[in-house]
Amino acid sequence: MASRFLNCCCIFPTRPTGDHDTPARTDKNEVAIDNRSMPYCVGRWLPSDQAILDRWLQKQIKEVDGKAQPEPLNPVVQSFKDAIESSAELTMFFNEMFTETPTTKRSQTSQSEVRNYHHMLQLMNNILLQAPEYNPDGPSVVVSMYAILYKQAGTTGGYAAFLNTTVNFHLKKILNTWAKFLMSPSSCYVLTTDGWLSNQCIEKMGGNFEEQFVCDPSKPHYGFTSWDDFFTRQARPNARPIAHPDDDKVIVNACESAPLRVERNASKHGKFWIKGQPYNLKFMLANEPLADRFVGGTVYQGFLDIYYYHRWHSPVNGKIVKAYVQDGTYYSEPLIKDHFDQGYLAEVQTRAIIAIEADNPYIGLMCFVAIGMVEVSSCDITVTEGQWVKKGQQLGMFHFGGSTHCLIFRPGVELKFDFHGGKPGPTATKVLVNSKLATVPE
């Protein structure tokens, strides 16, 4: 019998679907999206196969439940627990989400289900000293915290809880604590030749690893000092050549990413919570007044695979006008079946917003938006306002993995996109960073 896949339109599985493919759909003013069931979520951050997720969760639950006494909670997790229990609203949300959580025939026992929010906190506490492990036998579970929460996030109680400001404040503290571990040498235990540095995994990263990236195979862990050091690995100078560096008509790919979506005539107030969500420029750009300058313009979105290079580069020559990180949610999902999550997340997730005044006056002001997802929400900007950048120069990076990004152009800017033989959608193939993405007229 075929495995039942979860409907993963981005990195998140949501509510279960049937075993049949969903036909491709075309939204008005945008490129067709081929939204079919796949054996992993877009970007391969989390398996879509429920059985793989169940086995991973069973292992975590066994570790937590097998202890004679529950481990004391890390202070940041304890603080989160205190916040839940000191608020009638949050107590209701966190109890309701477990009441509403659907079960499947394969995962309806306590051995493979998170039972309540107390159990959830113990599991989160356990993850704080773990790095994501590579699974040679199938899709890896990389967003470990989300793998504990994904069923609850898809409920009405979870939707309310994970939009709550207090909840996101405490989640940020928990994720920052985990980040310290992922930046420490203790996280290197997964960087082995039968793990993330195995031949099998290196092939998924494009092969010729030492020729592509700054590393030293003669050293332990190829010279990487932590899980995060591996995931923010630097490309060697000639590994990602800049397309037409002296031609200001050519716009290059800002991230190593696969094309996902193009929307023309973008709206300032699009209803991003509905099915077939248009982009909402006001929220994408965090209520910045400059959003008005892009109304009616074009939004391009691409997504990053777990195995891709995770640093951002400038798509044009120009001056940095704005550069800041907007805090957002971490585990919020809209309550829409068959929804296209990446558009929603572009408005509510933690994101880096970088506005660039291109040297080419025809392009003029444009925006790059790096969008973090779930625990992959640490957006690190490495340029400053007022700085002039060359096409292909580093702008920043995602920590602990990757996510998705958007380029936003003013109305009237004619763009001829080059998807290198592919077409946008969740099954698209990657376009290397610094490769030609689009051209504008003379």
Kindly state the percentage of the chain with pLDDT values over 90: 52
In this predicted structure, the answer to whether residue 159 has a pLDDT above a threshold of 90 is no
Domain edges within the chain: 50-138+142-184, 190-225, 250-439
State the Rg of the chain over Cα.
Answer: 21
pLDDT value, residue 235: 96
pLDDT value, residue 177: 93
Contact yes or no for 284/369 (Cβ under 8 A): yes
pLDDT value, residue 356: 98
Residue 334's Cα: distance from chain center in Å? 16
> Can you tell me which residue has the tokens 């691409």?
302
Cα distances (Å, whole numbers) of residue 84 to 126, 170, 301:
19, 10, 36
pLDDT value, residue 20: 31
pLDDT value, residue 413: 97
In this predicted structure, the answer to whether residue 23 has a pLDDT above a threshold of 50 is no
pLDDT value, residue 433: 96
What mean pLDDT comes out for the span 196-221? 95
* Three-class secondary structure of residue 158 per DSSP: helix
Contact yes or no for 314/254 (Cβ under 8 A): yes
In this predicted structure, the answer to whether residue 340 has a pLDDT above a threshold of 60 is no
In order, the DSSP letters of 333-348 are --S-TT--HHHHHHHH
pLDDT value, residue 173: 92
In this predicted structure, the answer to whether residue 89 has a pLDDT above a threshold of 80 is yes
Out of 51-60, 75-84, 154-163, 315-324, least confident range: 51-60
In this predicted structure, the answer to whether residue 132 has a pLDDT above a threshold of 80 is yes
Query: Measuring CA to CA, which residue among 53, 62, 196, 218 is closest to residue 135?
Result: 196
Give backbone dihedrals phi and psi of 212, rounded to 5 degrees, phi first: -85, -40
pLDDT value, residue 345: 60
Out of 32-36, 235-239, 300-304, 372-376, least confident range: 32-36
> Can you tell me which residue has the tokens 């550069």?
323
In this predicted structure, the answer to whether residue 30 has a pLDDT above a threshold of 50 is no
pLDDT confidence tier of residue 112, bands split at 50, 70 and 90? low
pLDDT value, residue 13: 35
Sheet holding 378-381, edge to edge: 311-313, 394-399, 378-381
Indicate the residue type of 4: R
Kindly state the percentage of the chain with pLDDT values over 70: 79
Q: How far is the first Cα of the chain from the last one, in angstroms, to the nearest whole number? A: 57
Q: Alpha helices, DSSP H only, in 7-116?
A: 50-65, 75-85, 88-100
pLDDT value, residue 198: 95
Tokens of 382: 């490495």
What mean pLDDT comes out for the span 91-107? 77
3-state helix/strand/coil string of 116-155: CHHHHHHHHHHHCCCCCCCCCCCCCCCCHHHHHHHHHHCC
In order, the DSSP letters of 166-207 are HHHHHHHHHHHHHHHHHTSGGGGGG-STTTTTSHHHHHHTTS
In this predicted structure, the answer to whether residue 343 has a pLDDT above a threshold of 70 is no
Q: What is the chain's mean pLDDT, rounded?
A: 82
According to CATH, what is the number of the domain 250-439? Answer: 2.70.70
pLDDT confidence tier of residue 197, bands split at 50, 70 and 90? very high
What mean pLDDT comes out for the span 88-99? 95
pTM: 0.83
In this predicted structure, the answer to whether residue 153 has a pLDDT above a threshold of 50 is yes
* Three-class secondary structure of residue 409 per DSSP: strand
pLDDT in tens, 255-299: 999 998 898 888 776 554 433 456 778 878 888 899 999 999 999
Residue 268's Cα: distance from chain center in Å? 23
Exposure string of 364-392, with b = 16+ CB inside 10 Å and e = fewer, is bbbbbbbbbbbbbbbbebebeeeeebebb
Tokens of 206: 């494009």
Out of 44-58, 293-307, 359-373, least confident range: 44-58
Sheet holding 250-252, edge to edge: 250-252, 436-439, 416-417
